[in-house]
């Protein structure tokens, strides 16, 4: 969920003084928002207006991102898209763009994913909708969420575990085991070489 800031927090977030923020309010550079109790607050759209002149919150997009790991899961990808269409319709979410991708959840250099993160960083995406957290990444989702929040993008998770294939999890876990096994084998080889070098020098 997009974060709201008190005036002191907002000033620190954009690297300005509280007095500067108050002056900007008087000049109309920042709209005054207040809670039901009358307390002033700021949100991420205000951050972008302060940091990026000409920023227009109305031009930001809501994007749905769907992913499967391999081409043989094409039917699963189609089902995921249909399920997300139903979810967004039921949740009243107006979608501007649909992004689908085939690529492993442990690969954070997937082309569509990277382009999407670039757009989030540029402030072009206000809301990112996914079926399950692992559709973005198998590991490290919390950090991705942190980054998107820093750029004013809210992630909406349908939490549809049925759209997170168990076979993908098995394949990802096997890949992890293989990676660490290879590293362990390399370390053992290095240990033997080091012992030989040290032994040869005695």
8 A C-beta contact, residue 124 and residue 92: no
Mean pLDDT of 85-95: 94
Res. 88: pLDDT tops 90: yes
* pLDDT computed for residue 1 by the predictor: 53
Range in 126-130, 165-169, 198-202 the model is least confident about: 198-202
Assign 202 a pLDDT band (cuts: 50, 70, 90).
very low
Q: What is the pLDDT of residues 133-189, one digit of tens each?
A: 999 998 889 999 988 888 878 899 998 776 666 666 556 665 666 565 656 656 666
What distances in angstroms separate CA 18 from CA 25, 30, 36, one per listed residue? 11, 13, 22
Query: How many CA within 13 A on the CB side of residue 100?
Result: 15
Mean pLDDT of the chain: 82
| 58-150-41-95 Cα dihedral, nearest 10 degrees | 30
Res. 80: pLDDT tops 50: yes
Assign 83 a pLDDT band (cuts: 50, 70, 90).
very high
3-state secondary structure of 93: coil
Q: Which residues pair with 98 in a beta bridge?
A: 64
* pLDDT computed for residue 47 by the predictor: 82
Assign 84 a pLDDT band (cuts: 50, 70, 90).
very high
Q: What is the DSSP string of 105-168?
A: TT-TT-HHHHHHHHHHHTT-EEEEEESSGGGT-SS-HHHHHHHHHHTT-EEEE---GGGS-HHH
CA 138, 168, 69: angle at the middle one, nearest 5? 80
Output the pTM of the full model. Answer: 0.65
Mean pLDDT of 19-40: 85
């Amino acid at each position: 969920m997009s974060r709201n800031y008190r005036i002191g927090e907002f000033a620190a977030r954009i690297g300005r003084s509280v007095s500067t923020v108050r002056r900007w309010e008087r000049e109309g550079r920042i709209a005054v928002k207040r809670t039901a109790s009358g307390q002033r607050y700021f949100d991420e759209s205000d951050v972008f207006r302060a940091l990026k002149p000409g920023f227009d919150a109305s031009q930001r997009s809501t994007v749905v991102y769907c992913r499967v790991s391999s081409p043989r899961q094409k039917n699963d990808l189609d089902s995921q898209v249909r399920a997300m269409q139903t979810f967004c319709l039921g949740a009243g979410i107006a979608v501007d763009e649909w992004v689908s991708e085939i690529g492993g959840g442990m690969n954070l250099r997937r082309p569509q994913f990277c382009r999407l993160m670039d757009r989030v960083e540029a402030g072009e995406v206000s809301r990112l909708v996914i079926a399950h957290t692992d559709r973005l990444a198998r590991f490290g989702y919390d950090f991705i969420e942190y980054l998107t929040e820093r750029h004013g993008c809210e992630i909406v998770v349908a939490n549809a575990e049925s759209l997170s294939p168990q076979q993908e999890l098995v394949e990802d876990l096997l890949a992890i085991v293989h990676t660490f096994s290879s590293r362990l084998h390399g370390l053992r080889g290095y240990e033997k070489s080091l012992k030989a070098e040290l032994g040869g020098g005695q």
